[in-house]
Amino acid sequence: MVGNPNCGKTTLFNALTGLRQKVGNYPGVTVEKKIGITYSQHGRPIQVIDLPGAYSLAARSPDEAVLRDVLLGRREDTPQPDRIICVVDAANLERNLYLVHQILDLGRPVIVALNMMDMAADAGVKVDAAELENELGVPVIACEAVNGRGLVELRLALSRLELPLARHRWDVPGPIAPAVAELQASLRDHDGRPPLIARAEALLLLTDFDTVRVGGSRPLSARTHEILQQWRQRWAGEGTDWSAALIRSRYDAIDRLCRNVIRRTRDTGPSRSDRIDAVLVHSVWGWLVFGAIMAVLFFSIFTLAEHPMNWIDGHVAGFGAWVKQSLPSGDLRDLVTDGIIAGVGGIVIFLPQILILFFFVGLLESTGYMARAAFLMDRPMSKVGLNGRSFIPLLGSYACAIPGIMATRTIENAKDRLITILVAPLMSCSARLPVYLLMIATLLPSDAVPAGTKAGIMLLMYALGTLGAFGFAWLFKRTLFKGGVPHMIMELPPYQPPRFKEILRHMFERGWLFLKNAGTIILAISIVLWCLTTYPKHPNPEATATEQIAQSFAGHAGHALEPVIKPLGFDWRIGIGLITSFAAREVFVSSMGVIFGVEAEDDDTQPLRDALRSAHWPGGAPLFTPLVCLTLMVFYVFAMQCMSTVAVVKRETNSWRWPLFQIAYMTGTAWLVCLILYQTGRALGY
């Protein structure tokens, strides 16, 4: 299943296969192939592959290369597809047909899914599907994937044993034909390409002279390379841009075809999207709306989540008390209450806030606002040497850095992509949210403190991370990856009403993932941490909890780290939390629950916050002073503490060099900034 970005491929894929791949109203949601199963009318299973969107087979970014390589049969993990469903946006038929035109050259059976017919009608465009089928010679199915229309017809077309091959209605322009023929023959004879693949690749090489980009990982043979260079030199001597002529020739053919297929029923004037854009991308109003959206997001996290959080907190405490009454005293009871319930329960309480964050992110993605945010941010991004396209991965990293880093595959420039990968984890992800919330609650314990103040501190942390990402992008662009501001051309999709079903589904999927982490990684770490804080046992059975932890395995590890973190105001117990956070940042909260022995029987709904507030240094000075809480939050803003992100960066950069560099520069910055903040704060008397 192929098509231009944002033409509804994944919606159609989900409708056909019953899967629930993420859908968004902005280009570049799908960056890797997705596989599902649908069934023919006779019940025969058909494997469907959803490929990333592309404007052309001439791939210029890693996600587009996936589409090209699968279609040309270059991927070892994916056989060349038997038939190709070309999904086209009926409202933008001419541009969408450019990719279809290239694919028809491959000589494979093709079905055209003419999607978004409803939107085309709204735009005053009537597309004659029967005439398009007649012109192309392949089945054309009119459909509206969102409403499920056309799915039966599409399944019927897929069920046909034989599909007609396209009637070729495009001839390579005369002056270019000899070059295509010569390159095709060489690719076939010297590079082992099948005849039609050789022709398609010859056309790509003549449109894009970058042989590595076009040829993929297999280098071209010396003979093919020589022929390409000869033609290039000849054309340069003639002063004619034949590569541009090739594209123009295709568009001329498409233009002739569309004259019989498209009828403009009326001049609709400015569309609804145009009218909305007049405000949302306005140089003043646009920024005000952007700021208001962010403010509402953070305010909602504090206000809307309060009651469900109290409800969860109460039930966790009640459950802990019940377990404590039911089990006989001993290590097993302590493990369940102080290890598992305190650790996992301390994390589960943040579920409502995580859900609210993902609801807002889903709302922005579904309506088409993400692309507008990238448009607005292009100017500030250009100040640091990047463009607005890099902002979509960064914005996505507010939810989680992993999909954000994967979304960088849409960035064409390799250096800019690497910079975006390196700075993306600085954007505060949802895993940091529990840490910020715990520290803000410890910092501002009174319920009398307005939610706006707490939201303001939270917003400050997010702003600090964003500024850090921009600052380091600026630095990297001027040192490691020198270069100018890259060109950006990006399609802004029409606004669509939010699809609440999709948003809620995605929100609950993320919520479930969060709970799954709590039930697996955090559960395991809580048990291990409980063991490490409980053993070896203190020789004196009457020893206090603090004395017990101090001489435990975890205590020794924390004490070993303490000299490094003491200048930041952190003691060995916080040190243990920092170490365990490398599994996942939110583990810090459960670690504190285990280390400070917060027992779930407590009637107070904020036992951990109280325990932190009453923690002291050996000399009696309070540990979690406002300055330490703030410093700890800043540490979490900058430090690289997520093993999953490290693994994804390694995979995306194909090297250990960059993830190790990322750990060093981010954690080094965190330490330095916290040192300056804490020592300055102390000098000022805080």
Q: Which is nearer to other proteins, 271 or 546 (CB)?
A: 271
- Conformational region of residue 269, where left means phi above 0, alpha means psi within -120 to 50, and beta covers everything else: left
The mark string for 81-100 relative to other proteins (x by CB under 8 A, - otherwise) is: ----------xx-xx--x--
The mark string for 60-79 relative to other proteins (x by CB under 8 A, - otherwise) is: x-------------------
Q: Which is nearer to other proteins, 163 or 247 (CB)?
A: 247
Token pair listed for 270: 């400015």
The mark string for 459-498 relative to other proteins (x by CB under 8 A, - otherwise) is: -------------------------xxxxxxxxxxx----
Other beta carbons within 10 Å of 83? 15
Quick check: 56 binds other proteins (CB under 8 A)? yes
Q: Which is nearer to other proteins, 78 or 211 (CB)?
A: 211
Q: Going by DSSP bridges, is the β-strand pair 140-142/125-127 parallel, antiparallel, or unpaired?
A: unpaired
Taking contact as CB under 8 A, which single stretch among the options 54-62, 145-153, 186-194, 626-634 is the one that binds other proteins? 54-62
Sites for other proteins among residues 276-305 (CB under 8 A)? 277-278, 281-283
Quick check: 379 binds other proteins (CB under 8 A)? yes
Token pair listed for 222: 């010396």
Quick check: 55 binds other proteins (CB under 8 A)? yes
* 3 state SS of 211: helix
User: With CB under 8 A, what is the number of residues at the site for other proteins?
Assistant: 47
Quick check: 209 binds other proteins (CB under 8 A)? yes
Token pair listed for 356: 């609210």
| Least separation in angstroms between CB 56 and other proteins | 4
Quick check: 125 binds other proteins (CB under 8 A)? yes
Q: Distance from CA of residue 496 to its chain's centroid?
A: 21
Please enumerate in sequence order all residues whose Cβ is within 8 A of that of 220, keeping only pairs 6 or more positions apart, or say none.
187, 191, 211, 228
| Least separation in angstroms between CB 283 and other proteins | 7
Are the beta carbons of 367 and 498 closer than 8 angstroms?
yes
Quick check: 392 binds other proteins (CB under 8 A)? no
Q: Which amino acid is at 99?
A: L
Quick check: 58 binds other proteins (CB under 8 A)? yes
Distances (CA, A) of 437 to 139, 340, 432, 510: 56, 21, 9, 19
Q: Which is nearer to other proteins, 180 or 503 (CB)?
A: 180
Q: How far does the chain reach from its first CA to its final CA, in angstroms?
A: 61
| Least separation in angstroms between CB 262 and other proteins | 10
What phi, psi does 112 have (nearest 5°)? -100, 120
Are the beta carbons of 75 and 67 closer than 8 angstroms?
no
Peptide bond into 622 cis (omega under 30): no
Q: Distance from CA of residue 402 to its chain's centroid?
A: 6
| Least separation in angstroms between CB 59 and other proteins | 11
Sites for other proteins among residues 133-172 (CB under 8 A)? none
Q: Which of 171, 169, 181, 196 is nearest to 246 (CA)?
A: 171
What phi, psi does 142 have (nearest 5°)? -75, 130
| Least separation in angstroms between CB 92 and other proteins | 5
Sites for other proteins among residues 394-423 (CB under 8 A)? 412
By CB under 8 A, name the binding residues for other proteins.
55-56, 58, 60, 91-92, 94-95, 98, 123, 125, 207-210, 243-244, 247-248, 251, 273-274, 277-278, 281-283, 371, 374-375, 378-379, 382, 387-388, 412, 484-494
